[in-house]
Amino acid sequence: MAARNPQGGRPGASNSRFAQFKLVLLGESAVGKSSLVLRFVKDQFDDYRESTIGAAFLTQTIALDESTTVKFEIWDTAGQERYKSLAPMYYRNANCAVVVYDITQASSLDKAKAWVKELQRQANENIIIALAGNKLDLVTDSPDKRAIPTADAEQYAKDSGLLFFETSAKTSENVKELFTAIAKKLPLDQAGPRSMRASATRPGVDLRPEAHSTQGAGGCNC
Amino acid sequence: MEEVAPEYDVVVLGTGLTECVLSGVFSVKGKKVLHIDRNDHYGAEAASVNLESLFKKHGNYTKGEEPWKKYGRANDWNIDLVPKLLMSNGELTNILVSTDVTRYLEFKQIAGSYVQQGSGPKATVAKVPDGPAEALRSPLMGIFEKRRAKKFLEFVGSYKAEDPATHGGLSLDRCTMKEVYDKYGLEANTRDFIGHSMALYSTDDYINTPGVAKEAITRIRLYVNSMARYGKSPYIYPLYGLGELPQGFARLSAIYGGTYMLNTDVDEILWENGKAVGIKATMKERIEDGEGMKFETKCKTILADPSYFPGKVRVTGHLLKAVCILNHPVASTDNSDSCQLIIPQSQVGRKHDIYIAVVSSAHNVCPKGYYIAIVSTIAEGTSNHHLELQPGFDRLGRIEEKFMGQPIPLYEPLESGQNDNVYISKSYDATSHFETTTDDIRGVYRRAAGEELVVEGLRDGQNLVTDE
Ligand SMILES: Cc1cc2nc3c(=O)[nH]c(=O)nc-3n(C[C@H](O)[C@H](O)[C@H](O)COP(=O)(O)OP(=O)(O)OC[C@H]3O[C@@H](n4cnc5c(N)ncnc54)[C@H](O)[C@@H]3O)c2cc1C
Ligand SMILES: Nc1nc2c(ncn2[C@@H]2O[C@H](COP(=O)(O)OP(=O)(O)O)[C@@H](O)[C@H]2O)c(=O)[nH]1
Ligand SMILES: [Mg+2]
């Protein structure tokens, strides 16, 4: 179970800082969102993966330096983007987003741009957005497969204030770099996927049976 | 856009809470599920909407004006269409935990549970006692009655269904609740708040029905145990509103392979020998030009909310509901950021209780300084519905905005679904919690799957969480 509550810098305990952030993936179906997550979290790649099962909620930590650790709580779309049916819950309180397109599919960048717009309209205003042009391995051998010139996407990312990488979930090229760049850009002092929520001081109730003990005087212990 | 598969095990129509829980359960159990909604958002009748949508839905403003603008950002409002709260020890909580959907949601306590005694200017509002000890402090009873109530609640607390020694010498399977109350010598007012604000019966029908005693005692126990769990009230509530619940279960379904399509109209149900065997549908965004994407798919089972099969349901009653925007807490509720206040029917000369559910910015459903109070009851007349809710409005003090639509019909299916493969859920009823909703979820599952729904261990099949 991922930690429910924000864990910002731990004052006093030591010099180490540990921060947790919600990261969401967005982009057209089949551009490689789930594959990028799988590569980042488990260092695996599967050519024939079709289903998103198992990759819908993962966590991964990155050590930025000896004293700073960033933990990503990663939400994959679970395929709900396929027919434009992502729920608002999905990008609610996201601290960062990776918007993915496929460098061999021209239309996928348009989709990515639409998602960036949507995020800038709906998500919290400090959200860090990274643009990832995925399937870089496909153009290494046959450059004519490339549909989107690096410079075009890079210019768009620059104009829109996005981090930008061309990646390959297959070869792992630039995958670690992508997530590390996001981690570096996150405001570590206001950490926590839920820090934007109502009251960090009085966190919500934990529903797990093992988590509570306030069996009051009137409780019937059943 | 990708092709829709030619066949599914289950097609689910409507993304209300009942449908989303069922969709999630069927997907977890390995069924191939297609889940459709005609709207552009999740939740159907159980959605939460923003203030602009609410104004537009009710049309209670002059054209050209934008009255929602004086209440901050419209999107900071999440106003529930269904006025309900979760019992913290209730079945929905159990399902949320068993499926790990809690991972996507954050819950907060409702800060207090209150009941009204008397009516008009003499009405008093007091905390509902949460157990024997609290009963002794309650202003709802005199000193002697307090002791009797304490004895009664001790009996309820030690009750075990399987141990007749705890049944107080009564045959609870057969006797009425009146007999139980009589045994403890409880007064009418005490019976009223116990039956209506603890057992949460909305009429007095339960009192004289033989065999209901056991159920009533179980309901009081649920109240007391829910109360004991977090301390302030027996209720919890998800941040950002109840509309998060269907979204959470839809995500569960999707993770296990369920396919989701919003903005999709069902054009036709395909029948063979009186049984539904598939659907024809069109997916089209409201703003989109052209025909949209038409498709046809086969299925073994259809689950649907009543709105998709108007010819296969009947009306059982009408819910009256008014959403009120306040800029202050409700009087006599200890300045609580949220509460449930029940006005038992007999106190105000009605047959059905009036419920008031209050949430606020503490639950991320509105901007700071505002409170959303939903007053509801079952319609008893055919006109003057506003007057039926008046005792509730009287509790609220100054009201900034009031949204009261037409009476909302409550539907139930005419048939079980076993004959035509169409399994229809019930409308969200007038109760203040989700216990009847989960009963319906279990009922639909039993009919459609031919087995009892066991949620315990649902999450154990597959470990979705990878902690390093
Ligand atoms: C021993 C005794 C001394 C009392 N002294 C005072 C006093 O000094 N000042 C004062 O204002 N009130 C006194 N009372 C009355 C009592 O405090 C009030 O009746 C009670 O607080 C108000 O009723 P209730 O809502 O508590 O009724 P409950 O707690 O619901 O009790 C009502 C029941 O208690 C019984 N009862 C109520 N009053 C009496 C009584 N006086 N004698 C015997 N049985 C009774 C009746 O059977 C009645 O049905 C006394 C009561 C008793 C039993
Ligand atoms: N060659 C290549 N194929 C990839 C890469 N990333 C993903 N794929 C393939 O693209 C398909 C879709 O990937 P998936 O991760 O499911 O995409 P999603 O729908 O965006 O989550 C799968 O067949 C993957 O194997 C990549 O970097 N290179
Ligand atoms: Mg995917």
Least CB–CB distance from A56: residue in B134, B255, B362: B255
Least CB–CB distance from B2: residue in A41, A82, A197: A82
Nearest CA in chain A to B293: A83
Q: How far apart are CA B148 and CA B73, in angstroms?
A: 51
Min CA distance, A93 vs chain B (Å)?
A: 11
Question: What pLDDT sits at residue A213?
Answer: 44
Contact indicator for B106, A193 with CB cutoff of 8 Å: no
- pLDDT-derived band of residue A17, with 50, 70 and 90 as boundaries? confident
Question: What pLDDT sits at residue A123?
Answer: 82
A42 interaction partners in chain B (CB closer than 8 Å): 466
CA A108 to ligand 3 center in whole angstroms: 14
Question: What pLDDT sits at residue A14?
Answer: 55
Residue B238 C-beta-side C-alpha neighbours within 13 Å: 25
Q: How far apart are CA B296 and CA B60, in angstroms?
A: 40
Contact indicator for B203, B69 with CB cutoff of 8 Å: no
**Atom nearest to A138 CA in ligand 2:** 1
Nearest CA to ligand 1 atom 30: B145
A57 interaction partners in chain B (CB closer than 8 Å): 103, 255, 464-465
If DSSP codes are grouped into helix, strand and coil, which group holds residue B413?
Answer: strand
B1 interaction partners in chain A (CB closer than 8 Å): 83
Q: How far apart are CA B24 and CA A37, in angstroms?
A: 23
Residue with tokens 């007095």: B204
B108 interaction partners in chain A (CB closer than 8 Å): 198, 204-205
Closest-CA residue to B233 (of B338, B345, B95, B124): B338
Nearest CA to ligand 1 atom 16: B143
Min CA distance, B76 vs chain A (Å)?
A: 11
Question: What pLDDT sits at residue B459?
Answer: 59
Q: How far apart are CA B331 and CA B351, in angstroms?
A: 25
Question: What pLDDT sits at residue A10?
Answer: 44
**Atom nearest to B187 CA in ligand 1:** 30
Residue A133 CB–ligand 2 contact under 6 Å: no
Q: How far apart are CA B62 and CA B141, in angstroms?
A: 49
Cβ–Cβ gap A52/B254 under 8 Å: yes
Q: How far apart are CA B212 and CA B215, in angstroms?
A: 5
The two tokens of residue B28 are: 């977890």
Q: How many CB atoms lie within 10 A of CB B191?
A: 21
List strand residue ranges (DSSP E) for A32-159, in order: 57-65, 68-75, 96-102, 128-134
A79 interaction partners in chain B (CB closer than 8 Å): 254, 257, 259-260
Q: Which ligand is nearest to the CA of A38?
A: 2
Question: What pLDDT sits at residue B130?
Answer: 84
Q: Quote the radius of gyration of chain B (alpha carbons, Å).
A: 23
Question: What pLDDT sits at residue A121?
Answer: 85
Residues 6+ apart with CB under 8 A from B331: B125, B395, B397
Q: ipTM score of the complex?
A: 0.84
Burial B96-133 (b: 16+ CB within 10 A, else e): bbbbbbbbbbbbbbbbbbbbbbeeeeebebbbbbbbbe
Count of residues in chain B: 468
The two tokens of residue B17 are: 């809470």
Please, where are the H alpha helices in B320-398?
Answer: 385-396
Question: What pLDDT sits at residue A205?
Answer: 78
B78 class by beta-carbon count within 10 Å (0-12 exposed, 13-18 middle, 19+ buried) = buried
Q: How far apart are CA A37 and CA A35, in angstroms?
A: 5
Question: What pLDDT sits at residue A116?
Answer: 96
Residue A105 CB–ligand 2 contact under 6 Å: no
Question: What pLDDT sits at residue B380?
Answer: 97
- Residue A98, pLDDT above cutoff 60: yes
Q: How far apart are CA A126 and CA A149, in angstroms?
A: 29
- Residue A136, pLDDT above cutoff 60: yes
Give the pLDDT mean for A201-211.
Answer: 61
CA A111 to ligand 2 center in whole angstroms: 16
Give the pLDDT mean for A65-73.
Answer: 90
Bridge partner list, B6: none
Taking only the tens of pLDDT, chain B with its 468 residues reads 678 999 999 999 999 999 999 999 999 999 999 999 999 999 999 999 999 999 999 998 998 999 999 999 988 999 999 999 999 999 999 999 999 899 899 999 999 999 999 998 889 999 999 888 888 999 999 999 999 999 999 999 999 999 999 998 999 989 999 999 999 999 999 999 999 999 999 999 999 999 999 999 999 999 999 999 998 999 999 999 999 999 999 999 999 999 999 999 999 999 999 999 999 999 998 777 788 999 999 999 999 999 999 999 999 999 999 999 999 999 999 999 999 999 999 999 999 999 999 999 999 999 999 999 999 999 999 999 999 999 999 999 999 999 999 999 999 999 999 999 999 999 999 899 999 999 999 999 999 999 999 988 665 443 332 232
DSSP string, B286-334: TT--S--EEEEEEEEEEEE-GGG-GGGEEEEEEEEEEEEEESSPPTTST
Nearest CA in chain B to A51: B257
CA B187 to ligand 1 center in whole angstroms: 14
Nearest CA in chain A to B230: A214
Burial B25-42 (b: 16+ CB within 10 A, else e): bbbbbebbbbbbbbeebb
Give the pLDDT mean for A186-192.
Answer: 70
Contact indicator for A95, A127 with CB cutoff of 8 Å: yes
Strands B293-304 and B275-283: antiparallel
B364 interaction partners in chain A (CB closer than 8 Å): 197-198
Q: How many CB atoms lie within 10 A of CB B79?
A: 22
Q: How far apart are CA B88 and CA B170, in angstroms?
A: 29
Question: What pLDDT sits at residue B291?
Answer: 86
Closest-CA residue to A129 (of A97, A176, A175, A94): A97
- pLDDT-derived band of residue A67, with 50, 70 and 90 as boundaries? confident
Residue with tokens 């046809």: B296
Contact indicator for B11, B297 with CB cutoff of 8 Å: yes
Give the pLDDT mean for A6-25.
Answer: 68
Residue B1 CB–ligand 1 contact under 6 Å: no
Q: Which ligand is nearest to the CA of A40?
A: 2
Q: How far apart are CA B249 and CA B95, in angstroms?
A: 10
If DSSP codes are grouped into helix, strand and coil, which group holds residue A166?
Answer: strand
* Inter-helix orientation angle B177-184/B143-158, to 10°: 130
Cβ–Cβ gap A204/B106 under 8 Å: yes
Residue B145 CB–ligand 1 contact under 6 Å: yes
Pick among A207, A208, A212, A221 to test the B interface (most B CBs inside 10 A) = A207
CA quadruple B171, B177, B182, B184: dihedral sign: positive
CA A213 to ligand 3 center in whole angstroms: 39
Q: How far apart are CA B443 and CA B425, in angstroms?
A: 9
The two tokens of residue A92 are: 């609610």
**Atom nearest to B146 CA in ligand 1:** 29
Count of residues in chain A: 222
Interface A-B: count of C-beta contacts within 8 A: 155
Cβ–Cβ gap A53/B462 under 8 Å: yes
CA B434 to ligand 3 center in whole angstroms: 33
**Atom nearest to A169 CA in ligand 2:** 27
B433 class by beta-carbon count within 10 Å (0-12 exposed, 13-18 middle, 19+ buried) = buried
Q: How far apart are CA B387 and CA B5, in angstroms?
A: 52
CA B194 to ligand 2 center in whole angstroms: 59
B84 class by beta-carbon count within 10 Å (0-12 exposed, 13-18 middle, 19+ buried) = buried
SS3 helix, strand, coil % of chain A, rounded to 5?
30, 20, 50
Residue A80 CB–ligand 2 contact under 6 Å: no
CA of A187: how far to CAs of A21, A184, B25, B122, B273, in Å? 10, 8, 39, 56, 63
Q: How many CB atoms lie within 10 A of CB A45?
A: 18
Q: How many CB atoms lie within 10 A of CB B144?
A: 10
B12 interaction partners in chain A (CB closer than 8 Å): none
Min CA distance, B332 vs chain A (Å)?
A: 24
Residue A154 CB–ligand 2 contact under 6 Å: no
Nearest CA to ligand 2 atom 26: A135
Q: How far apart are CA A87 and CA B127, in angstroms?
A: 38
Contact indicator for B240, A92 with CB cutoff of 8 Å: yes
